[in-house]
A and B are shown apart, each in its own frame.
With several copies, the nearest count.
Chain A
Amino acid sequence: MIKIGLILEFEGKNLFRKYNIPLVNSMLVTNEQEAIEASQKLGLPVAVKAQVLSGGRGKRGLIKIAKTPEEVVEKAKEILNMESDGRPVTHLLIEEAETIKQELFVSMLFDPETYDVKVLFSPKGGIDIETLAKEEPEAIETFIIPFGDRSYPYYFMYKLKERGIQSKQVVPLARIISTLVKMLYDEDLQLAEINPLVINDKGEVIALDSRVVTDDDALFKHPERKNYLSETLRHTKAEKEAEEAGLSFVDLDGDIGMLSCGAGMGMATADLIEYFGGEPRNFLDVGGGASPEKVSEALRIMMEEGGLKAILINAFGGITRLDDVAKGIIDAKEKYNINIPLVIRLTGTNQEEGVRILKEHGLKAYLDMEESIEDVVKESRGGQN
């Protein structure tokens, strides 16, 4: 299962461009030479913007303005030497610098409770929107669009005019907001946000940033997203491999490897490991209905990632067949060098067959979850309580 979710600024802007949301010109570069060339084509001054997933780039020095060719080189170099989310910055967006008269904020998602589209809008945009939400909540307006209503710009024109936005800006603004609503549906987005959405010195309304969260479950409708740079940036090697194998990999800090089927069970297992005094190192969820190959691959990735003192396999078979899980374990044990304690717990669909397979290969299977967890915590401490 490929996980993309949040995409990079330039990827979000490419989506915006497809829907004619107004943007300033920009170019993606990976080194100073390209940055200089881009700034020559775009014209100075330019903004040099790190393409990273975490927010607050301005504060963290990941966005800088360059007014001369020398500054372009200097700022590009500076930013390319920085890190974000534990990785070096590899891509910059060189963008025409805008003269900003006002910064606005717009963000929207499907409300999980009502399924309506919930649109947040504020005439006070910029970097501190979460602070604003706390300190001046009345500065943020909420518009509700009932599910399925393909909203038109005039709807938002009414709303915005009621909030005192000027005639001149109300038209492009309303068009941008209604376009974003359309994009939620047609592009399968979980979140579409522009902050800041700026009014420049010519009175034009322009999307200066993008924050777009895609729905990974809809990848089959948008296969081009598999090639997004954000996809490769997001993951460690193990996460990437897990993804390719259709697994979910969560990095933690301890020394017990955890393999389970289902996220809820995984969380409860982690809770119990901590309850019994252990520390989970990672959590590999093979999901429902995992094949032997998937289980084996999960164990390979876990071993390669290293840092483990013991592994717990906690499988409760619903859609998953425990004979498949057992076969996967045996396969991994034979192929990869699993030299640490392997604590296995199997209950559910085809449990007897699973236990039998393990037994044939000299492996014991717990039936009780707490017993198995107590055991793996003990093993992680070298067999001592």
Chain B
Amino acid sequence: MWSKSQEEVKIKMAVLLTKDTKVIVQGITGYQGLFHAKKMREYGTQVVGGTRPGKGGTEIEGFKVFDTVKEAMQETGATASVIFIPASGVKEAAFEAIDAGIELLVVITEHVPKVDVITIVEKAKKHKINMIGPNCPGIITPGQAKIGITPGNIVSPGKVGVVSRSGTLTYEVLEQLTKAGVGQSTCVGIGGDPYKATNFIEVLEMFEKDPETEKIVMIGEIGGSAEEKAAQYIKEHVTKPVVGFIAGKTAKKGKTMGHAGAIIQGNVGTAKGKIEALQSVGVKVAERLSEIPKLLES
């Protein structure tokens, strides 16, 4: 039986994604949108329809198509939306979803202009909605539902929460875990862009509070200081075991973004620095992805 505070936490985690979450796809008539709407439905997600302005009232492969997010939400009871729309239309699509009152917004599209991303994220914050992305694989709750593009056949239900900055690398980790018999509670791909709605810390907080999650895997890569900040957060707030991995150990030192970039960000951003930061707070860092299941056991 759950205690009250655990019950609250359970509800909070459910906000992200369960088998009961009703999802719409913005851009459902597009090549990627339709393909992944079907994949999500096959996996068990309640994909209740999608939007394509101008095609409202039609149907595509069994999905209802609406002109607007508001209509889709009103008619289907959807609370989550996933955006599969070209970069130039993402700002408008995200604004529409937020203004329509969506609770969870996942933006898969990559190459969204940075000023647009920041503008969207600020609006999402102001409206206190959960937003993941852009340029991310989305969320999968194994055995229940997925929003986004994570292949459904590489996950299995279990107790390990996975959070990752990288798209394809996430899949690799999930598959390794599944092959090794280590199931996952939820996997959140936060996306690889420097500017994004949800970062490691927010997901670590959810995993720490989520009774379904016992251990955490965190996949980072070179650049920025998100992993260093996450290490600080882990030190102060995370009691569950964390296993980490950092990609880009052999990368050449890239060109900096100019003096301001170098000065502002200091020496953070290298794989070495990130690995050390994580190890210093007790995170076991895998050298190869294939070591992760073993490190989780120990």
Indicate if A touches B (C-beta under 8 A).
yes
B70 adjacent to A369 (CB under 8 Å): no
Chain B hits for A109, CB < 8 A? 257-258, 260-261, 264
> Are B168 and A170 closer than 8 Å at their CB atoms?
no
Q: Is the CB of A348 within 8 A of B113?
A: no
Say if the beta carbon of B122 comes within 8 Å of chain A: yes
In this assembly, does A16 line the interface, its C-beta being within 8 Å of a C-beta of chain B?
Answer: no
Q: Give the CA-CA distance A289 to B260 in the complex, in Å.
A: 34
A213: Cβ under 8 A from any B Cβ: yes
Q: B104-122 CB contact bits vs A (8 Å, 1 = yes)?
A: 0000101111111011011
Q: Does A129 contact B259, Cβ atoms closer than 8 Å?
A: yes
Which of A111-126 touch B at CB < 8 Å? 111-113, 115, 118, 120
B92 with A270: CB separation less than 8 A: no
**B270: interface (CB < 8 Å):** no
Contact A148 B258 (CB under 8 A): no
Task: Check if A275 sits within 8 Å of B260, measured CB to CB.
Answer: no
Chain A residues within 8 Å of B289, by CB: 268, 369-370
Does A267 touch B at the CB level, under 8 Å? Answer: yes
Write out, one digit per residue, whether chain B residues 168-208 have a CB within 8 A of any chain A CB (1) or not (0).
Answer: 11111001000000000000000010110000000000000
CB-based contact B35/A6 at 8 Å: no
B83 CB-CB contact with A under 8 Å? no
Question: CB of A15 within 8 A of chain B?
Answer: no
CB-nearest residue of chain A to B31? A289
A215 touches B113 (CB 8 A): yes
Query: Given A147-B122, A167-B57, A217-B113, A316 and B171 touching (CB < 8 A)?
Result: yes
Residues 141-172 of A contacting B (Cβ, < 8 Å) = 147-148, 152-155, 157-158, 161, 167-168, 170-171
- A129 vs B263: C-alpha distance when bound (angstroms): 9
Q: Are B172 and A268 in contact (CB under 8 A)?
A: yes
Check B54–A167 contact: CB distance below 8 A: yes
Nearest chain B residue, comparing its CB with the CB of A134:
B263
Could you say which residues of chain A place their CB within 8 Å of the CB of B170? 264
* Chain A residues positioned under 8 Å from B60 (CB to CB): none
**Cβ A213 vs Cβ B258 within 8 A:** yes
Q: Which residues of B contact A153 (CB under 8 A)?
A: 53, 92
Q: How far is the CB of B286 from chain A (nearest CB, A)?
A: 11
**Known contacts A148-B122, A188-B113; A120/B36 CB under 8 A:** no
Shortest CB distance B171–A (Å): 5
Q: Which of B1-9, B14-22, B232-240, B245-253 contacts A (4 or more CB under 8 A)?
A: B245-253
User: Contact at B115–A215, with CB atoms within 8 Å?
Assistant: yes
Rounded to whole Å, the gap between the CB of B27 and the closest CB of chain A is: 13
Contact segment of A57-65, A190-198, A293-301 = A190-198
A169 CB, nearest partner CB in chain B, Å: 8
Among the listed stretches B209-217, B218-226, B277-285, which one makes contact with chain A, having 4 or more residues with CB under 8 Å of it?
A: B218-226
Separation of A156 and B79 alpha carbons in the complex (Å): 22
Would you call A215 and B288 a contact (CB within 8 A)?
no
Given A157-B53, A264-B169, A318-B167: A118 touches B260 (CB 8 Å cut-off): yes
From the candidates A152, A154, A217, A263, name the one contacting B114 in the complex (CB within 8 A). Answer: A217
Instruction: Point out the residue from A112, A115, A220, A268 that lies within 8 Å of B88, measured CB to CB.
Output: A220
**B118–A110 touching, CB < 8 Å:** yes
Contact of B171 among A118, A263, A347 (CB under 8 A): A347
- Whether A271 pairs with B54 at a CB distance below 8 angstroms is no
The distance in angstroms between the C-alpha atoms of A190 and B195, with both chains bound, is 11
- Counting CB contacts under 8 A, is A245 at the interface? no
B interface residues, tally (CB under 8 Å): 78
CA distance A120 to B263 in the complex (A): 9
Residue among A105, A108, A158, A252 with most chain B CB within 10 A = A158
B158 touches A (CB below 8 Å): no
> Known contacts being A272-B288, A288-B149, A318-B171, is A157 close to B68, with CB within 8 Å?
yes
Contact A161 B250 (CB under 8 A): no
Minimum CB–CB distance from A338 to chain B (whole Å) comes to 23
**Which residues in chain A, 261-281, are within 8 Å of chain B measured between CB atoms?**
261-265, 267-268, 270-272, 274-275
A158 close to B115 (CB less than 8 A): no
The answer to whether the Cβ of B137 comes within 8 Å of any Cβ in the partner chain is yes
Q: Which residues of A contact B (CB under 8 A)?
A: 1, 6, 105, 107-113, 115, 118, 120, 129-130, 133, 140, 147-148, 152-155, 157-158, 161, 167-168, 170-171, 174, 184-185, 188, 190-191, 193, 195, 211, 213, 215-218, 220-221, 252, 260-265, 267-268, 270-272, 274-275, 287-289, 316-319, 321, 347-349, 351, 369-370
Name 27 A/B residue pairs within 8 A (Cβ), A-sorted. Answer: A107-B263, A109-B264, A113-B225, A118-B264, A140-B263, A147-B118, A154-B95, A170-B67, A191-B258, A191-B261, A193-B260, A213-B257, A217-B87, A218-B113, A218-B114, A220-B88, A262-B168, A264-B165, A264-B247, A267-B166, A267-B251, A268-B248, A289-B32, A317-B151, A351-B153, A369-B289, A370-B289
8 extra A-B contacts, CB within 8 A, seeds A113-B225, A147-B118, A317-B171 = A107-B258, A109-B261, A110-B118, A120-B259, A171-B53, A220-B88, A267-B166, A348-B151
B residues apposed to A, CB below 8 Å: 32, 35-36, 39, 53-57, 67-71, 87-88, 92, 95-96, 99-100, 108, 110-116, 118-119, 121-122, 137, 149-151, 153-154, 164-172, 175, 192, 194-195, 219, 221-222, 224-225, 229, 245, 247-252, 255, 257-264, 287-290
